[in-house]
Amino acid sequence: MKRQWILAGYAGDGALPSVTDEDARKLTHLNVAFGHVRDDEIRIDHLQNVSRLPELKIANPDLLILLSVGGWGAGGFSEAAATAAGRSSMARSAVRVLRSLPLDGIDLDWEYPCYAEAGIAASPADKENFTLLLREMREALDREGAASGRHYLLTIAAGADRYYIDGTEMDKVHPYLDFIQLMTYDMRGGFQTLTGHHTNLYTPTGDLFRISVDASVRLFREAGVPPEKIVIGAAFYSRMWQGVPDRNAGLHQMTASSGGYGPDYTRLHADYIGRGSFVRYWDDEAKAPYLFDGNSFITYDDEESLGHKCEYIRAEGLAGIMFWEYSCDKTHRLLDALHGGLNRPNPAQS
């Protein structure tokens, strides 16, 4: 029997009207970003385009749609998770959301338990409280599903590096989750002045920062997460440094400022790749492309790097791949590459 790999896409509420029926048929999961946590409840009253969801279900009846709750700088989690009453309130609100929209589950994107860098409340107690919150939500979703004869999904988006492992109890958490989506992007950029890849499959020689997709997967497996519950991440946007020394094609160079967000793939394809003074380079160790024009360094995913990520998923027996974010690629080339890479025939099984 052919295995179905997860191909999940995040789409902001504003992007929902632009999700085509054709693309909906290529996805297995759609994560709608974002619900908010306020006063110990999941809130969706700010979402404006959820009327598109039933249409996407018609286009692909097998598409599983989840509400993603949180995101960078979105608080309310630590406070809700801190008490039994708060956890119960949040779980009940999740059920109400599932009843009000054509959804198949909830995806929690708490960035991050035990850490306040995003300007949200945090506490050392988050580590255990996160587990308790997920248990409460899993039980509530299971009760609701039993009443209607269905299974509701519960997933999380997880930080890619050691800090996330240290701030959570992944060995206790994963039994409550259908799968875990590793945010294996932004692995370099906003906090570093050293140029490098932000969504690389492997760590190349000479890189002081050792994180990569492969390193992240190994961290989560060592923490007790089975490979068949791990979904890796892909980026439909870039990270960019400027004022980069013209050495080694800009790779692994110290700069005066950290790497901010660069062009999304739509703009990269139209104005940067093979355009002007930018030259595309390929790091065969990292399995990652980058652009350099003598001053600006841009790191991103493309069809070639996504092909390697798909091969990695198949070789390691992982659950699949997700990407951030749908509206960043109006060429549709990246989603096509993921769909083709995951669904090509496996010679070993032929």
Q: Could you tell me if residue 58 is inside a domain?
A: yes
Q: How confident is the model at residue 62 (pLDDT cuts 50, 70, 90)?
A: very high
Q: What is the DSSP letter of 181?
A: E
Tens of pLDDT, residues 288-317:
999 999 999 999 999 999 999 999 999 999
**Which of the residues 79, 111, 136, 144 is marked catalytic?**
111
Q: What are phi and psi of 68, to 5 degrees?
A: -90, 130
Residue 346 — very low, low, confident or very high, per pLDDT cuts 50/70/90? low
Give how many domains the chain has, as a whole number: 1
Q: Answer yes or no: is 263 within a domain.
A: no
Query: Is 28 a member of any domain?
Result: yes
- The answer to whether position 245 is within a domain reads no
Other beta carbons within 10 Å of 286: 25
Residue 21 has pLDDT above 50, yes or no: yes
Does any domain span residue 273?
A: no
Residue 287 falls inside a structural domain? no
Structure-block tokens of residue 288: 């990652």
Peptide bond into 112 cis (omega under 30): yes
Q: How confident is the model at residue 349 (pLDDT cuts 50, 70, 90)?
A: very low
Residues in the chain: 350
Residues in contact with 283: Cβ distance below 8 Å, sequence separation at least 6, in sequence order: 197, 200, 204, 251, 289, 290
Direct distance between the N- and C-terminal alpha carbons of the chain, in angstroms, rounded to an integer: 12
Q: What is the mean pLDDT of residues 343-350?
A: 63
**CATH code, domain carrying 138:** 3.20.20.80
The rounded distance, in Å, linking the Cα atoms of 277 and 166 is 43
Model confidence band, residue 190 (pLDDT cutoffs 50, 70, 90): confident
- Which backbone phi and psi does 153 adopt, to 5 degrees? -80, 145
Residue 103 half-sphere exposure toward CB, CA atoms < 13 A: 26
pLDDT tens column, 218-245: 999 999 999 999 999 999 999 999 999 9
Cβ-in-10-Å burial (0-12, 13-18, 19+) of 119 comes to exposed
Q: What integer pLDDT is reported at residue 3 of this predicted model?
A: 80
The SS3 call for residue 325 is: coil
Domain housing 148: 6-236+301-349
Residue 1 counted as domain residue? no
Interval 203-222: pLDDT, tens: 999 999 999 999 999 999 99
Please give the model's pTM, rounded to 2 decimal places. 0.97
Is 111 assigned a catalytic role? yes
